[in-house]
Amino acid sequence: MEMVKQMEISDKEKDDVRTLIKFVGIFCREHHNGAKTTFSFKRFDIREIEKKETSLCPDCTRLLTYGLAIRVKCPHDPKPMCKKCDNQCYHGEYKAKIREVMKFSGMYLVKHGRLDMLYHYLR
Ligand SMILES: [Zn+2]
């Protein structure tokens, strides 16, 4: 029995979490071959939010874990767009990496006609 207390998260947070998972998932699928494991996050149930499993390489797992931890710690309500925020939560290599992921996956979604997903990115 898992004893970690799961967080209650709002619908807006679920949207953001889903977007992050999707973006990192696309990036990993298109860039990284090799061993991947099903992503899970101890603070809340990913399967309840995303409905399907996402497999990631170790690097992307680290990035997504970091991104989700930051998202649920955001002190602002409502959350502004990260790039317009004074609190620059992402540091160092993660900052460069998440930018690369957002740019790549954003373009990927445009090319594949998924503007509905992009809406979340642009908010
Ligand atoms: Zn990867």
Q: Ligand 1 centroid vs 75 CA: distance in angstroms?
A: 28
Residue 2 predicted with pLDDT over 80: no
- Global pTM value: 0.83
Q: How far is CA 9 from the centre of its chain?
A: 15
Q: Residue 122: its pLDDT value, please?
A: 55
CA pair distance 62, 16, nearest whole angstrom: 17
Residue 1: both structure tokens together: 């029995």
Find the 58 Cα to ligand 1 centroid distance in Å: 7
CA 57 to centroid of ligand 1, rounded, Å: 4
Q: What is the distance of C-alpha 111 from the center of its chain?
A: 20
Percentage of the residues of the chain whose pLDDT score is greater than 70: 89
- The most distant pair of C-alpha atoms in the chain lies apart, rounded to whole Å, by 43
Distance 25 CA to ligand 1 centre (A): 8
Tokens encoding 36 = 């991947």
The CA 77 to ligand 1 mean position distance, Å, reads: 31
pLDDT in tens, 16-63: 899 999 999 999 999 999 999 999 988 778 888 888 889 999 999 999
8 A C-beta contact, residue 97 and residue 23:
no
Better-predicted residue by pLDDT, 22 or 77: 22
- pLDDT for res 31: 97
CA–CA dist 114, 84 (Å, integer):
24
- Distance from the alpha carbon of residue 94 to the mean position of ligand 1, in angstroms: 13
Element (H, E) at 55: strand 55-56
CA distance 30 to 88: 28
Mean pLDDT, the chain, rounded, equals: 84
Dist CA 14 CA 3 (whole Å) = 22
